[in-house]
Amino acid sequence: MPSLAPLARAAANKELPLVEELLSLHFQACEDARDQLAMSKVCQVAQSNKRRQDKPSWAVGDLVLLDSSDRRKRLHTRQRRAAKLMDRFDGPYCIVKAQPEISSYTLQLNGDNTALLLFHTGKLKTYRENDATLFPNREPARPGPVDVGGEPEYVIEDIVDERTRAGKRQYLVSWVSWPLDSDSWEPVEALDNMEALDWCECQNEE
């Protein structure tokens, strides 16, 4: 809505009383509209603040959980697989840099500091360690390997990165229903004849 800037009021013209009356009504309507607009903004802010909660704040070294919705969506979209049974949060992960003034935190996603990513507060929640003695059933179950031709194999969720070490290609593999800190670099030989590797190479070619 455009701002209601005050109009320059013309000098009274005694010879045109009707015009003067219309101008007075116009200016009064503008003042009323401005007052109503200001009041509506105040009411809108008040109603929004009723539903707005204080943003959580963490410090370096705190442990948090990371919303897995992006991973679940990627798994469903790329591999056409049901992801509704996956954990809603991954972790815990350690905060290595805190920027509460912009509601952002950098997490260490693996043990060697090679995966440090920035996340918004909305993707995080405080990690509360489970007491396995009191609540043994709350420990998250991790899927074991499946038998493929007599060989145990874990199910790949995604290939998220690649690199070359000593002249050999390696791929950073994310495993189904395992947290991000369980991602591991695997040699290309270990991924032969796997659909995930074929899909990754097709994406690189595009």
- Mean pLDDT of each 10-residue bin along the chain, 206 residues long: 49 65 87 90 78 78 89 68 71 89 87 73 88 71 70 75 84 76 79 64 56
Give the DSSP letter of residue 133.
T
Q: Where in the chain is the domain with CATH 2.40.50.40?
A: 146-205
Find residue 165's DSSP bridge partners: 168
Instruction: Identify the pLDDT of residue 79.
Output: 56
Measured CA to CA, the distance from residue 173 to residue 151 in angstroms comes to 18
pTM check: above 0.85 = no
146-205 folds as OB fold (Dihydrolipoamide Acetyltransferase, E2P) (2.40.50)
The pLDDT value given to residue 193: 64
Burial environment of residue 124 by CB neighbours within 10 A (0 to 12, 13 to 18, 19 or more): buried
Give the separation between CA 173 and CA 97, rounded to whole angstroms: 25
What is residue 64's predicted lDDT score, i.e. its pLDDT?
93
Which candidate, 169, 164, 163, 159, places its Cα nearest to that of 198?
159
